[in-house]
Structure formats: structure tokens, C-alpha cells
Amino acid sequence: MAAWSFWAMRPNAICLPPIWPGPVSMPPSFPATGGRQGCRSRPNLCPRPPASTICSGCMTDTAAILPHRAPISTGNWRCPRRSRRQGPSSCDPAPLRRSNRIMAERKDPGGPGWRARLGLMTLLQLVSTIAILALTVIAPVSQGAIGVTPQAVGYLVSLAYVFATLTSLIAGSVIAWAGAGRTIVAQVALITIAMLLTMLGGLPALCLAALCVGSAYGVNNSAASVVMRGHMPKGRQALAYSIKQAGVPLGAFCASVGLSMLALAGLPWRVGPGLIILVGLGFLIAFLQRFPNPAPGRPIPARHVLARLLREQRRVLRRPDTRALAIIGMLYTSAQLTVTSYALLVLLDEGWPLALAAVLAGTLQLGGAAGRIFWGHLADRLGIFAVLGWLGLVSAALMAVMASGLPGGVKAVAIVALGFHVSGWNGVYIAACSQTAPKGCAAGHTGALAAYTMAGIIFGPSLFALINGRLGDSATTFAMAGLAPLAGSLIGARSHLAGYLRAPSRSKGAVSARG
């Protein structure tokens, strides 16, 4: 008893081996259940309850395991996941505080809190997408007042995605250092700075704006995965991530249509970036009201960032399921960006009226938003790789139809269906990233896989432009681009037959236990 009192007074004390072999007299806050209790990762090495009921080593809420609810005032504790000889685990998060409501809510993770998390992360995805695509609309409508030509906008957007790719590679280290909540706050701050620089105009300011908005976009999926993982209802995880990812096509639609309508209404072009700033600040207020005091991470030496990056990439490439996800993500992203970027060009080259072609191209974005929700719902029942394989196969067939000599009505239906399929994979993919992540490593794992999707964004449209310049026939090039989703469908089918990421068993009221 004296030994227990000595260790109980030490804040952040490391759990010692149990000192009670069986049912003995214990402090009032510790249950005498007749056996040794502890957290999920080391059930026999954590004999005393933590002050915050959250094990900072394995992220387990011990209030759900131990029958007690009254924690003793001894500060946070740590559950050693690895031996001292091996060193601390690279995935161990920093010790948590009671105020860190993002990672350690006392309520049931399947309770009402998951709706707020999903809604906020969807809004953040919407704002981030509008911000990174705003320049593609503002530059033409400003009629040169922004200081760059419309042709230079493509290079600025590519520069933003390059920074997004680099940031996604180190997203795990950034979130481990700053914490998911503070990373999201910094993301909104970078978007605000980028829009202010856009309002200034000029090539130097726009280059800095591309740096800021690309860096903000690169950490978005990783931070959102930390906030959402373990809090979405079991059997609805793919649907939840698909709803969140529906913010991408909706954001693209709002950027292209909304900002254009502002210009048609006669408003100055600077009103668009100003509205994006207001929406971002509105999100930040709502976020901080829900999560008022996001806890920081722990310091990470700069020399460990590269080592962590390489470790995360080795983990992705070592496992066959994550290796398949990386390849599928790069192939499907290149196909999606090729379709959304050049569908209008293909229709115009075939003699379609500009107004009708623009309407059909806009339906690609709305079809993508609806498709992500539908395919996410279906992936929870059929399995993730089964849905990914089907989407690639149908997308390749529809891209071939667009390049054929079929009547215009058939092509109009095909382009609407193409948006429903070629953009519907992303939410299912992000759900797969979260499900395949080791416990405590959701941010780094998602960022490591997101780097491959960013690579598809950079190289896919560029490769299409190169081939189209050589062939001089956009329809034929469009059909050739369908080889990318076709290859991805074969990988998805092979992974599904191998038994990876099959649909989980469903039980009413169950929630995900992974966190």
C-alpha cells in the first residue's frame, strides 16, 4: 500500500508491474475485481487507473475497460508499448490532457460526437478545395488585374500541388509535433494568408499563396483522419469518409460556379478571396467551440523527420494491401484529374456548343459528390477493394465511349455516369487508409498514402497534354487515359480476391474500436 501511494503521487509515472497478485484491499478509486486490470495494449502491466482515464501510449480509454469512473489525481500516465532496449514507439502520441477533446473524449466514441466531427471535417475539406482551385477561376474573370496570365495559372496550381505532396509526406511528423487540433488551426491560418496574398496580386505574391495553400491542403486528410478515426460508427466508416471527401467535388463546383457568378454580378474579383476567408474563419470558430483546447504533441528532432518519413514509406510498400492502395490511388487520381480537366476540351473538339459542353462538364463535379456517398455506402457492404475494382473498370469503359463515334445523346449520358464513377473512389480510398493504419499512426499512414495521390494529380494531366500534343487527337488520347483506371481495377480485383479489406460483420449499435 505504501509503494502504491509513493507511485500514485508521481505525475506521469510509468506503470510498474502489478504489486497485487489477487483480490486485496485497494484504494477506493481502484476496483477490487479479483484480477489484474490495465489498458488494452499491456493488460497485465498497468495496475493503477490513470487520472484522465486515457492511456497516452495506446490511446485506450480505460474507463471503458475498468469499472471505475472516479480517477485519482496523479496526472497522466504512460503505458510502455515497447521495451526500453527498443526505445519508445514512433507511434506513441504525447500524453493527453482532459481538455484534448479531439483525441480523448470521455463519451462513447459512437455517440453524438461523431456527427460534429464529420460535419466539421467535411466543411474543412470544402474550404480547402475552394481555396486551392480559386485561382483557376479568379485569373480569367479578373481580366489581367490579378497580375498573371491565365496560361500561368496552370503552373501556379501545379506548384500548389507540389507543395501539397511534400507536406503530405511529413504530415505525420507535423501532427505528432503540433497535435491534430493545432494543425487544423494552422491549416486555416495558411488558407487565410494565401487568400490575402491572392488579393494583393502579382506573380511573387501568387507564388507565396500557392506555397501556403498547397501546404495547408497537404495536411488536410491526415489531420482529419486523426479527428475521425475510431469515432465513426462501425459498418459506416467508408460512408463517413466518403461524405467527408464529397467536399472535394462540391468545393470544385462552388469554386467554378460560385466565383464565376460573383464576376457576372459585377462584383470586384477580390470579393471571392474575401468570402473564402470569412468561411474559413467561420469554420475556425465552430471548430474551437467544439474542441476548445486542442492539446499539443511532443517535440520531434529535425533529424528524425526524414527517418520517420522513410519508415512510413517502408511500411506502406512492405504490406501488399497498402502497396495496392498506393498504386490504385496514383492511377485513379491521374484518371480523375484528366477527365475533369480535359472533358470540356474533348466535347468542344467534337463540335458541341460551349454552353452545353460547360453544363455537362459541371455535372462531372456534382456526379462525383453523389458518387462518393453512394460508393462509400456500398463499400461498407461489399468490401473496399471490390468497389475500387468496379469503379476502375466502369470508368475505363466510359472513357472509351467518350472517344467513340456514338451519338451525342449517348455521350451526354456517358459523361454524367463518368463523373459518378471516376470521382467516386476517393472517400472509399481514404477510409481504406484509415483502416489499414497501425494504432496511433493514422496521420503518418494517411499522409504517406496521400503522397501517391498527389503524384497522380501532378503527372496525370501533364502526361495527357504531352500525348495529346503528339497525337493531335484529344478523343484518342482520352481513350488511352482509360488504361490507368483499367490497371487499377485489376489490382483492386486481385486484392479483393486475396481477402484484403473485406466488408466487416455488422452489428446494430457497434462502433469502431480502433483509435
Beta strands in 306-399 (DSSP E): none
* pLDDT tens-digit readout, 410-434: 888 888 898 899 988 988 998 898 8
Q: Say how many C-beta atoms besides its own lie within 10 A of residue 312's C-beta.
A: 26
| DSSP single-letter state for residue 63 | G
Given this model, what pLDDT does residue 47 score? 42
**Rounded CA gap, 429 and 392, in Å?**
13
Instruction: Evaluate whether 219 touches 332 at the Cβ level (below 8 Å).
Output: no
Q: What are phi and psi of 77, to 5 degrees?
A: -125, 175
**Rounded CA gap, 435 and 307, in Å?**
23
**Rounded CA gap, 304 and 471, in Å?**
47
**Rounded CA gap, 394 and 373, in Å?**
17
CA 416 to chain centroid: 26
Q: Which of 162, 168, 197, 344 is nearest to 256 (CA)?
A: 344
**SS3 of residue 305 by DSSP:** helix
Q: Is the pLDDT of residue 69 over 90?
A: no
Q: How many residues are given for the chain?
A: 515
Given this model, what pLDDT does residue 299 score? 67
Given this model, what pLDDT does residue 184 score? 92
Averaged pLDDT, 266-286: 91
Q: Say how many C-beta atoms besides its own lie within 10 A of residue 480's C-beta.
A: 19
Q: Is the pLDDT of residue 170 over 90?
A: no
Beta strands in 17-167 (DSSP E): none
* Grid coordinates belonging to 377: 455506402
Q: Is the pLDDT of residue 5 over 60?
A: no
Residues 6+ positions from 350 with CB-CB distance below 8 Å: 411, 475
Q: What percent of the chain has pLDDT over 90?
A: 24
**Hey, what CATH topology would domain 113-497 get?**
Growth Hormone; Chain: A; (1.20.1250)
Beta-bridge partners for 54: 61
**Rounded CA gap, 394 and 401, in Å?**
11
* Grid coordinates belonging to 14: 510509468
Q: Is the pLDDT of residue 104 over 60?
A: no
* pLDDT tens-digit readout, 465-515: 888 888 877 788 888 889 999 999 999 999 999 888 876 554 444 333 333
**Rounded CA gap, 385 and 392, in Å?**
11
Residue tagged 479527428 (cell numbers): 227
User: Which residue intervals of 179-296 are DSSP H helices?
Assistant: 180-200, 203-218, 220-228, 237-245, 247-253, 259-264, 271-290
Beta-bridge partners for 14: 78
**Rounded CA gap, 105 and 53, in Å?**
10
Given this model, what pLDDT does residue 295 score? 64
Burial label, 369 (beta-carbon count in 10 A; 0-12, 13-18, 19+): buried
**Rounded CA gap, 450 and 58, in Å?**
24
**SS3 of residue 14 by DSSP:** strand
Instruction: Evaluate whether 98 touches 186 at the Cβ level (below 8 Å).
Output: no
Instruction: Evaluate whether 216 touches 190 at the Cβ level (below 8 Å).
Output: yes
Given this model, what pLDDT does residue 504 score? 59
Range in 27-41, 187-201, 203-217, 240-254 with the lowest mean pLDDT: 27-41
**Rounded CA gap, 443 and 229, in Å?**
10
**Rounded CA gap, 483 and 488, in Å?**
9
Instruction: Evaluate whether 139 touches 146 at the Cβ level (below 8 Å).
Output: yes
**Rounded CA gap, 30 and 72, in Å?**
9
Res. 280 pLDDT band, cuts 50 70 90: very high
Given this model, what pLDDT does residue 74 score? 36
Beta strands in 375-461 (DSSP E): none
**Rounded CA gap, 83 and 103, in Å?**
25
Q: Say how many C-beta atoms besides its own lie within 10 A of residue 290's C-beta.
A: 14
87 vs 209, residue with greater confidence: 209
* Grid coordinates belonging to 237: 466508416
What is the number of H-type helices and E-type strands within the chain? 20, 0
Residue tagged 495536411 (cell numbers): 219
Give me the residue spans of the domains in the chain: 1-89, 113-497
* pLDDT tens-digit readout, 313-366: 999 999 999 999 999 999 999 998 888 877 777 777 777 887 787 778 778 878
Q: What percent of the chain has pLDDT over 70?
A: 73
* Grid coordinates belonging to 173: 511528423
CA 341 to chain centroid: 22
Over 373-386, what HEC string results?
A: HHHHHHHHHHCHHH
**SS3 of residue 43 by DSSP:** coil
Given this model, what pLDDT does residue 337 score? 85
Residue tagged 487507473 (cell numbers): 49
Res. 62 pLDDT band, cuts 50 70 90: very low
Residues 6+ positions from 141 with CB-CB distance below 8 Å: 259, 260, 263, 269
Averaged pLDDT, 36-50: 42
* pLDDT tens-digit readout, 376-393: 989 888 999 999 999 999
Given this model, what pLDDT does residue 361 score? 76
367 vs 358, residue with greater confidence: 367
**Rounded CA gap, 380 and 376, in Å?**
7
